[in-house]
Structure 1
Amino acid sequence: MSNVQTGFGPFIAVYLTAQAWTELEIGLALSVGAFVTMVMQVPAGALVDATPNKRLAAAAALLAIAISALLLALWPETLPVMVSEVLHGFASCVLGPSIAAISLALVGREHLGERLGRNARYAAVGSGVAAGLLGAAGAWLSGASVFWLTALLCAPSLVALATIRRADLHPPEPQEREAGAMRGLGTLLRDRGVLVFALCCGLFTLSNAAMLPLAGTQVTRNAGDEANLIIAACIIAPQLIMALIAPGVGRLAESRGRRIALLIGFAALPVRGLLLMLVEGPAWLILVQALDGISAAGLGVLLPLLAADLTRGTNRFNLCLGLFGLAVGIGGTLSTTLAGLAVEWFGAATAFAMLAGVGLLSVLAVLLAMPETRGRAAA
């Protein structure tokens, strides 16, 4: 999954720039994709909950992503690119919850934390490998080859999905009867744990999303031609840290509780913001950015794990994931805008301090308001 999704990151902007698209047109296309991804989180989660065959849902999402990649490769014009962004945005909203649901069915709730940690490890490794492959293809072949290769990578993903047998999947637990997705959504919105963790997710991405782009802007001004290499290292370093520690985070959440694992992941965020305000050299920047691997491991493992805890005995797991995904999307969307305004009005150091402050608020929200859900899951 992470191999396939890597092609839809910065490579799109580079590719469309080479196709003589203006910055405004590229920004509009990417905004369409981001908007669809944000607003379809909850409906896609409800759809996956309602689908008895999660493997089929994941396969359909992979095929949709392959089609969106082919549209980009074949027709880099306005309408096909917009259709590609919409298709990819909705497919991504289905694919993530489908993988989480399959993981839950494979190992059960008792071992879900460790399984999610392993998922995060493979996702980090896959993203790093795919970034290297796609970057090499774009540099040595053509910009369009990035998306041909992305579509091609869907084939081994589908093969891996097909090797999961129905007998490998545990039968679902007894679930309460529901009148529909909207009633389930209303029930979730009345759950204190769901609301508090959604707030934590929003504060987390409000702090986190703008940090690397803001640091990248400063690096580009100071490092010139070496900026791309520095930013690449800033992306790879957290992936390595995440791959190393994610299974341990999952085991810690299962043995010591969810809040301690959350606090470790979230606490790295304000520290990183303050250090980015102080450091200047490329080597220091890369080391500081590696702290993002701790935060990413914490949120990546705990978000689906808490959704499983908070929806035990119901058919709302993926709907809950969609709610948390919506909170993440809102926080990320506001983050870059607020950070940009802070830089323009007060300077980069103040912007980093502001982001660190929001990160500290997310830590306090976990510490003071987030209930421990491990006992709830056991009950």
Structure 2
Amino acid sequence: MSVASSPQTGSSSGFLTDRSLVALAVLNFFLADARDGLGPFLDAFLATNGWSSMALGAIATAGGLIGLVATPIFGELVDNSRWKRALIAGPVIFVTIAALVTLLSPNPAVVWFGQMGTALVGAIIGPALAGLTLGLVGERLFARQIARNEFWNHGGNFLSLFAVFLVVPAFGTGGMTWLMIATALGTLAAIVAIDPNRIDHDVARGLDKDAGSHAPSGIRVLLRERGLLLLAIILLIFHFGNAPMGRLIAQDFALELQTPFRTTAIITGVAQAAMIVVAALAPMLIRRFGLSVIFLVALSALPLRGLLAGSFSGFWVIYPVQFLDGVGAGLLGILTPVAVEHMLKGTGRFNLGLASVMTIQGVGASLSNVVAGWLVTKGGFALSHFVGGGIAFLAMIIFILFRRDIIVDDKASQT
């Protein structure tokens, strides 16, 4: 029987006794670190090895563009695949190997190949994880489970960053190597522990079985859904301003303090701690205020973040700045798949739709890296932060004007 119809998944005790859901929590915990390789440490590590902000921005942009091309293709693949666990395990193995090689030999050829490959295979993890989650718990519990996923994901990130803070000073880059291997093995073990027979693959793609052959094709369902396109544009604008800010803060203080791993661990750890709190509170906040209000709260965090980051240069500023990152990006990480699932309910194109939204928002994140790098060369880190925060007002205005197209049924969407 599909877990989507199992009553035990609706309670905390059911969650604790369901092996597949416990494994899903463990998967999110370890995947937080394993899916990105060096992740937030890459920029600070390379900056202290002589790489410029412009060069780092070019790598991030090129990798992002590769991911953009691959993501909708992989979304369609997830919709039609019954191998969702393998679609997560394969990329994790590649990303870990690429990160280890980069850490040992950070020359341009290795870095470029590793990051381009990581961007390509990493593009499948998001849609595959969302589809796996929907297939395990079903539509009714999807929003709550997404919040749980984010809680464990950010918890894993936070503890990983804390481990880096302790291990690297004691063991150097060798400590980073063993940490990456451990998180990859933990991810793979959790994937194996998920019972493949518990995954309803029709539910996982958001298919209304009564629609039968009348369910629209992938391209048609995306083109006809106005709210999906508006959501993607809003996220494009948000991530254009938000994506480079944490990277640039890490570069700035890593160069100033010459402690790339520890500095980045603190900077990223503050955001992850905030995201843990956000993920824990999100279901209650959505029930109390509705998706529209919480969406607006998430979007409003970025202008304030940019203002603070651009106005103050002391290390203390990373705490409120990164807390706001946890509020903005953390909430959107939960709200986006929930909104997409409600818009595409019954079409059988959930993973393709989510992948398409991720693709368009990725345009903003990718292009912003090279633009932000250029702004740093022209006016310093503060100029980039002001521009990034300022552009977020446009996303807020669009959402306010068209929120009824994006949030299909605010009451029904509450968890």
Match of 2:18 in 1: none
The answer on whether the counterparts of 1:310 and 1:377 sit within 8 Å (CA) in structure 2 is: no
Q: Choose the corresponding residue for 1:109, options 110, 121, 139.
A: 139
- Report the Cα offset of residue 377 of structure 1: 6.5
Distance 1:306 1:295 in 2: 16
- Report the Cα offset of residue 243 of structure 1: 0.2
Match of 2:339 in 1: 306
Q: Choose the corresponding residue for 2:163, options 133, 158, 179.
A: 133
Distance 2:257 2:184 in 1: 36
Deviations along 1:216-274, one digit per CA (max 9) or x if unpaired, are 565568x5457875554322112111101213223433564321221111111112222
Match of 1:38 in 2: 68
Question: Which residue type is aligned with residue 68 of structure 1?
Answer: A
Q: Does 1:88 align with 2:118?
A: yes
Distance 1:94 1:245 in 2: 25
Question: Which residue type is aligned with residue 269 of structure 2?
Answer: I
Match of 2:221 in 1: 187
SS of residue matched to 1:238: helix
Match of 2:88 in 1: 58
SS of residue matched to 1:313: coil
TM-score (norm: length of structure 2)? 0.77
Deviations along 1:134-168, one digit per CA (max 9) or x if unpaired, are 45554443536534542342222122122222453
The answer on whether the counterparts of 1:49 and 1:315 sit within 8 Å (CA) in structure 2 is: yes
Distance 2:381 2:110 in 1: 37
Aligned length: 375
TM-score (norm: length of structure 1)? 0.84
1:322-341 alignment runs, 5 A limit: 322-341=355-374
Match of 1:246 in 2: 279
Match of 2:301 in 1: 268
Instruction: Provide closer, same or farther for how the CA distance between residues 251 and 337 of structure 1 changes in structure 2, counting only shifts above 3 A.
Output: same
Give 5+ residue unaligned stretches, structure 1: none
Distance 1:232 1:153 in 2: 16
- Report the Cα offset of residue 126 of structure 1: 0.9
Distance 2:215 2:100 in 1: 36
The answer on whether the counterparts of 1:113 and 1:253 sit within 8 Å (CA) in structure 2 is: no
- Report the Cα offset of residue 334 of structure 1: 2.6
Q: Choose the corresponding residue for 2:292, options 250, 259, 265.
A: 259
Instruction: Provide closer, same or farther for how the CA distance between residues 282 and 37 of structure 1 changes in structure 2, counting only shifts above 3 A.
Output: same
- Report the Cα offset of residue 290 of structure 1: 1.2
Question: Which residue type is aligned with residue 104 of structure 1?
Answer: L
Question: Percent identity, aligned pairs only?
Answer: 25
The answer on whether the counterparts of 1:7 and 1:146 sit within 8 Å (CA) in structure 2 is: no
Q: Does 1:355 align with 2:388?
A: yes
Match of 1:365 in 2: 398
Match of 1:150 in 2: 180
Question: Which residue type is aligned with residue 332 of structure 2?
Answer: L
Distance 2:71 2:91 in 1: 14
Match of 2:189 in 1: 159
Distance 2:121 2:373 in 1: 30
Instruction: Provide closer, same or farther for how the CA distance between residues 241 and 80 of structure 1 changes in structure 2, counting only shifts above 3 A.
Output: closer
SS of residue matched to 1:237: helix
The answer on whether the counterparts of 1:113 and 1:251 sit within 8 Å (CA) in structure 2 is: no
Match of 1:201 in 2: 235
Instruction: Provide closer, same or farther for how the CA distance between residues 63 and 227 of structure 1 changes in structure 2, counting only shifts above 3 A.
Output: closer
SS of residue matched to 1:233: helix
Deviations along 1:55-94, one digit per CA (max 9) or x if unpaired, are 2322333333344345546776666655433432232111
Instruction: Provide closer, same or farther for how the CA distance between residues 149 and 219 of structure 1 changes in structure 2, counting only shifts above 3 A.
Output: closer
Match of 2:311 in 1: 278
Distance 2:213 2:91 in 1: 26
- Report the Cα offset of residue 35 of structure 1: 3.2
Match of 2:25 in 1: none
Moved more, 189-198 or 255-264: 255-264
Moved more, 110-119 or 345-354: 345-354
Match of 2:17 in 1: none
Deviations along 1:265-301, one digit per CA (max 9) or x if unpaired, are 1111112222223334322332232111101221110
SS of residue matched to 1:314: coil
Moved more, 133-142 or 261-270: 133-142
Distance 2:77 2:62 in 1: 21
